Amino acid sequence: MIKDKINKELLPRHIAVIMDGNGRWAKKQGKNRIYGHQNGVDSVDRITEAAAELGIEYLTLYAFSTENWNRPQDEVNALMDLFVEAINANMEKLLANNVRLCVIGDHDRLPEKTRTNMQEAINKTNGSTGMTLVLAISYSSRWEILEAAKKIAADYKNGSVDLDGINEEYFASKLATGGMPDPDLLIRTSGELRISNFLMWQLSYSELYFTDVCWPEFKEQQFYEAILDYQSRERRFGKTSEQISK
């Protein structure tokens, strides 16, 4: 079994996923885009469970970008309802798997119902001590970096930081992902080769993995393949290969 080939000593601590291709997958079956999103929920479930079981510490899923607000209103509404439904339907499983839920993004833009429901779900999983599942909803990296810049400007203005204090660690702490390790592995499904405004600061040294498989067809097997591919890479962080293998 492919899962048994995974080296437990070399697991990525944090995996981030751009879940893409729901619409195209649905179209191929002659269905509408929303059908694709509904089918994507099963992949979310299964990848979350597989990651928690393997011992991944953080799993961040890009569910809705700031730019996705520009989609047709009926698709946006369907997605907002789907987030609520999917979170509610999976609450017991999240708790059983000891998963702590967390969300990042511009939540002032979310409908009241989605926002309250997400907050309730976060509160319910607050006691979990296993994997952290981060949902990026109404998220974009430029939004996040601008928000961080504003917080830093405020800190500087009130004297709680001086210019020398604005270092990488401090800057990172002001991002929505403050306190989390950077992703070791980024997976994007559906064959698109871009970042689409996702975690631009945090992905600086992540290993990138692209697959043609669309998100509704990305299941455990495909997830394990991505991790195995990651484990075959040499991460040098600017050093030479000789320095790394010492």
144 binds Mg ion (CB under 5 A): no
Q: Which entry of Mg ion, ligand IPE, none binds 38, CB below 5 to 8 A by partner kind?
A: none
Total count of residues recorded for the chain: 246
Confirm if 217 and 241 have CB atoms less than 8 A apart. Answer: no
The minimum distance between CB 65 and ligand IPE, in angstroms, equals 4
Q: According to CB under 5 A, which one of 11, 14, 20, 180 is a site residue for Mg ion?
A: 20
What whole-number distance in Å separates Cα of residue 174 and Cα of residue 184? Answer: 20
Pick 20 or 144: Cβ nearer Mg ion? 20
Which residue among 32, 68, 106, 182 is the active-site one?
A: 68
Secondary structure (DSSP) of 129-145? -SPEEEEEEEE-HHHHH
Q: What is the largest CA-CA distance in the chain?
A: 59
Q: Which entry of ligand IPE, Mg ion, none binds 97, CB below 5 to 8 A by partner kind?
A: none
Active site residue 68: yes
Pick 14 or 174: Cβ nearer ligand IPE? 14
What whole-number distance in Å separates Cα of residue 110 and Cα of residue 114? Answer: 6
26 binds Mg ion (CB under 5 A): no
Which residue among 20, 22, 90, 97 is the active-site one?
A: 20
18 binds Mg ion (CB under 5 A): no
Which residues contact ligand IPE by CB under 6 A? 18-24, 62-65, 68, 79, 190, 192, 194, 196, 215
36 binds Mg ion (CB under 5 A): no
Place of tokens 């048994």: 4
Q: Which entry of Mg ion, ligand IPE, none binds 19, CB below 5 to 8 A by partner kind?
A: ligand IPE
Identify the CA nearest to 51 among candidates 131, 169, 170. 131
Catalogue the long-range contacts made by 191-197 (C-beta closer than 8 Å, 24 or more residues apart): 191/21, 192/18, 192/20, 192/21, 195/18, 195/141, 196/18, 196/20, 196/62, 196/65, 196/67, 197/65, 197/66, 197/67, 197/140, 197/141, 197/142
Q: Which entry of Mg ion, ligand IPE, none binds 65, CB below 5 to 8 A by partner kind?
A: ligand IPE
Q: Which entry of Mg ion, ligand IPE, none binds 22, CB below 5 to 8 A by partner kind?
A: ligand IPE
Pick 58 or 62: Cβ nearer ligand IPE? 62
Active site residue 20: yes
Strand partners, 187: 17, 209
Pick 38 or 128: Cβ nearer ligand IPE? 38
Residues forming the site for Mg ion (CB under 5 A) = 20
Which residues are catalytic, by number? 20, 68
